Amino acid sequence: MRKGQHMLPLFPASGHMAMTENQAKIECRGVWKIFGERAEKACRDVMSKNGTSDEMEQAALDNAGIIGARDVSFDVAPGELFVIMGLSGSGKSTVLRSIAQLQRPTIGEVLFDGEDLAAMSDDALRDIRRRKMGMVFQHFGLVPHFTALQNIAFPLRVRGEDKSSRDAKAREMLNLVGLEGRGDAFPSELSGGQQQRIGIARSLAVDPELWLLDEPFSALDPLIRRQLQDELLDLQASLRKSIIFITHDFAEAVRLADRIAIMRDGRIIQQGSASSLLLSPEDDYVRSFVRDVPRLQVLKLRDIMTPASRLKADLTLSHNASLEEALLAMGNGGDQIAVRNDEGKIVGKVMRKEILSTVAVE
């Protein structure tokens, strides 16, 4: 568990899913999404002739098309929390909807456990969405004339489960999101935060292998938003689900992600760990996202250490210690830290001047 108090446990803490460690859960391969029937056809014609990305873009523009995603490629490993972020209109939600096949990619592949979703029939896709995918959106999408329990049970009803089992599961999920006793309430009788919790409970009811979250916390007040972030991290520590999380907030991305992809104009500009984006931004666009991130708290000794196996130093700290913790531990004395790994072996060194130069913002 992370430090801090939580009002109630939001997510289930058991039920580990089976994972194939040597295969990505999701693979996006050269995904394009062009809006406009004539433009889509023109782009497919260009692709059939092995055209370049520039030729694809020109074909879309020449035919009054709108490019939502441009040659997007990435993998999400089993149990990884992968964040896609960018400003409004950058294409992040388009990519998520293309993964779920809510809108079919114009060109490219989306592989789920090695199977190409874009090549599946509508019936096969519906079955995957009902049994293996959970989706949560910023706009909760609750059925207004359904009670909270009926909303949670709805996906179980769609996939044909009997009433008693789906009602029992819905009550279990309702309790897990801290809304016990509100099962008979209609969405109009719930606050925004409560409605989002119902949406989260509904998506978890199907026990998804892949969880797609499109800015799920952005409409919530800061206190509730931070609590839900904490509980999402607790879920990952427990279940290691594969999650694709969309946000426009880099601080949220840094807090949650194993890896982050930053998008602009439908393209992925850079992807990697939070530390790699902070220390080696690809361009000014990425640099603008990371400029205000508190490096002292985010970066760890492992991110800046120089490898070393033998070292005499007055101070030895874990490679997971933040730069802030390192400076506090050094106090007014000492200029060098020996860095140890989880097994206690010395693996590197960090100098005080390196910490200070790293956290200095240009």
Question: Which sequence spans correspond to the domains of the chain?
Answer: 26-132+208-290, 296-359
Q: Write down the pTM of the prediction.
A: 0.83
With a CB cutoff of 8 Å and minimum separation 6, the contacts of 266 are 33, 67, 68, 69, 70, 72, 90, 91, 94
Contact 83, 257 (CB under 8 A): yes
Task: Give me the sheet containing 259-264, strands edge to edge.
Answer: 133-137, 210-214, 242-247, 81-85, 259-264, 267-272
**What share of the chain in percent tops pLDDT 90?**
55
Average of per-residue pLDDT across 232-247: 84
Q: Look at residue 22 in the predicted model and tell me its pLDDT.
A: 64
Q: Look at residue 292 in the predicted model and tell me its pLDDT.
A: 83
* 58 class by beta-carbon count within 10 Å (0-12 exposed, 13-18 middle, 19+ buried): middle
**CATH number, span 296-359:** 3.90.1280.20
Domain spanning 26-132+208-290, CATH class: alpha beta
Strands 81-85 and 242-247: parallel
> What's the pLDDT band for 261 if we cut at 50, 70, 90?
very high
- Reduce the DSSP state of residue 217 to 3 states and report it: coil
Q: Look at residue 3 in the predicted model and tell me its pLDDT.
A: 35
Reading the block at residue 219, the tokens are 């409409």
> What's the pLDDT band for 79 if we cut at 50, 70, 90?
very high
Rounded to whole angstroms, what are the CA distances from 33 to 29, 63, 108?
Answer: 12, 14, 9
Average of per-residue pLDDT across 314-339: 88
> What's the pLDDT band for 101 if we cut at 50, 70, 90?
very high
Q: Look at residue 150 in the predicted model and tell me its pLDDT.
A: 93
- Reduce the DSSP state of residue 66 to 3 states and report it: strand
Q: Look at residue 291 in the predicted model and tell me its pLDDT.
A: 85
The enclosing H or E element of 255 equals helix 250-256
The residues with which 34 forms a beta bridge, in sequence order, are: 67
More confidently predicted of 120 and 261: 261
The enclosing H or E element of 213 equals strand 210-214
Summarize pLDDT for 16-68 with one digit per residue, the tens: 333 345 689 999 999 999 999 999 999 999 989 988 989 999 999 999 999 99
The C-alpha atoms of residue 210 and residue 135 are separated, in whole angstroms, by: 9
